[in-house]
Structure 1
Amino acid sequence: MVWMMRRCKELGLVLAALALAWPAVAQAQSCSRSISMATGRWEPYAYYDAAMHFTGIDADMVRAIFKEADCQLIELDYKPATRNMTLFEQGDIDLMSGASRTPERLKLAHFSQPYRDETIGLFALAQQAEHFRAIRSFPDFLAAPVSLVAPRAGWYGPVFEREAAALRGAGRLSRFGDFAQGIHMLAAGRVSLMLGDAAAVEHAAVRAGVQVQPLPFWVVQAPVHLMFNRATVPQADVERIDAAIVRLQRRGVLERIRRSYGGQ
């Protein structure tokens, strides 16, 4: 009898502890639904390796963030960046990574906490960089009689966005679909300079065996975010993912992913 009373008392303590813990457990809900992510080719952030496995800095960071948040991520099949953006605007894609926060995009998207930084610059072939030493700002570039190749998709700062149409009209701006194509155009002498994310330009240049050098200023240095479709992803899910980003940043997980791809 004493033994049974002791066991009942112990069981009661366990149940009481579980009852106290229950509110915390109940609050730890996963995302309301699975979230689909656009994929594409943007080395070293997001690309398909030789085995057609989707990989890269952003791919690994997003997987880590969703695992930490206990949310289900669906990685869609490859589509070009411009097609992904169209599908996102139509509500057929929930998430795009590596996004800059702009007033126009806020009309259709939620943005996460920043999860990494980006650096956008102008690059010349290393053997020709001396010819452009007088270009020390984007206004200097606008005043110089030189041509530029830039990515077809993405946002590269307010000054470039404002001047892009005029540069195109003057025959000074060409576009590329992927960074390997941009490097090829630069190396072939079809343009004088290349605009792009520093890590992506340098990665593509190494792959192509081409030496490039950045001009002595950056067009943009800013944080980037995960961009969620307002029509398909609730704000509560974004807040849950934000909390996961903060925890991973505090533990240094996202920085370790970035450095695993050769960053300094």
Structure 2
Amino acid sequence: MMLRWGCTAATAAAALMAAATARAECSREIAVPVAPIGVSIVITGGTVSGIYPDVLRAASQKIGCQLVFSAVPRARQEVLFEMGKADLLLPASRTPARDQLGTFIPLLGHRATLISLAGPRPALTSAQELLDRRELRVAVVRGFDYGEPYQALIKELAKQGRLFQEVDAVAVARLMQSGTIDVTIMGPTTLAGAVMRDARLAGVLDKLRVEPIPELPWSVSGIYVSRRSLKPEDQAAMLDMMEGVAKSNAVMEAFQRVHRADILAESVRPR
């Protein structure tokens, strides 16, 4: 009996040691500053949740890495990544500037559109039409980046004196609800998620008018793993984890559970 117990104890100890070794994948905590983005990133007090944090926490536990999420404004999130003080940037569209700083792991097909409240206004079918309609006031979230055509568009809108830059999508939605602005430019799921989480915006979701334009085509959205802040072995652990998340399709499935099919169809699709 003692021999059997001893063997069992030794086996259990060996298993625990093996498990501990298998889980020791990161040399330190992984810093992930995030900004609120609809239901993708939800910040309540000091608690960070939402589609991306929930999926990534589950994945990181399997490999023994600890992700530490902190809440920051979107523009600050971008600056921290540029300075090498953020290990991950998420969610993010792929851009040449960001490619200089980190390795991109695509998770979804994504696009920004023009979004407004339903009304009699003639449809907008291009960026030039938006620029020509100088009576339309436009809001964007500071720090969002959907590529060079987007940056060129908002730069021109700013020159025309009709651009509002806000801290998050909730602030944009409130301006739209109050009639202060007429149009925003962002992913429909981003705005829809913000509206769904704010009781003061009740009824806005059913009034959203989504207008895709060719200057903002489908692209890829995903996560950047920093090459500046992470040691090579930690980069490798994060890249392996992100590849696993991409293959699992967990993020897309979470979007499908949360958003209406019509909103999803104009904003997010499998990569």
Is the TM value for this pair above 0.5?
A: yes
Q: How does 1:3-22 map to 2 (within 5 A)?
A: none
1:40 aligns with 2:35: yes
Q: Shift of residue 221 of structure 1? A: 2.3
Cα separation, 1, equivalents of 2:117 and 2:64? 45
Q: Is the 8 A contact 1:69 1:243 kept in 2?
A: no
Unaligned 5+ runs, structure 1: 1-10, 12-17
Q: How does 1:174-253 map to 2 (within 5 A)?
A: 174-206=164-196, 207=198, 208-209=201-202, 210=204, 211-217=207-213, 219-253=216-250
Q: Shift of residue 252 of structure 1? A: 4.1
Task: Give the match's secondary structure for 1:113.
Answer: strand
| TM-score (ref. length: structure 1) | 0.77
Q: Is the 8 A contact 2:140 2:172 kept in 1?
A: yes
Number of aligned residue pairs:
239
What does residue 101 of structure 1 align with?
Answer: 94
1:32-60 CA-to-partner distances (Å, cap 9, x unmatched) read 432110032222111223x7531111211
Q: Which residue, out of 111, 115, 127, partners 1:123? A: 115
What does residue 73 of structure 1 align with?
Answer: 67
Relative to 1, partners in 2 of residues 1:137 and 1:68: Cα closer, same or farther, differing over 3 Å?
A: farther
Cα separation, 1, equivalents of 2:114 and 2:244? 34
Q: Percent identity at matched positions?
A: 19
Q: Is the 8 A contact 2:24 2:63 kept in 1?
A: no
Pick the structure with greater CA Rg: 1
Q: Shift of residue 194 of structure 1? A: 1.0
Cα separation, 2, equivalents of 1:263 and 1:236? 40
Relative to 1, partners in 2 of residues 1:159 and 1:116: Cα closer, same or farther, differing over 3 Å?
A: same
Cα separation, 2, equivalents of 1:69 and 1:220? 36
1:122-163 CA-to-partner distances (Å, cap 9, x unmatched) read 11111x2x3131x11223322333331111112023212123
Relative to 1, partners in 2 of residues 1:249 and 1:89: Cα closer, same or farther, differing over 3 Å?
A: closer
Q: Which residue, out of 134, 138, 142, partners 2:127? A: 138
What does residue 59 of structure 1 align with?
Answer: 53
Calculate the aligned-residue CA RMSD, in Å.
Answer: 3.0
Cα separation, 2, equivalents of 1:169 and 1:35? 40
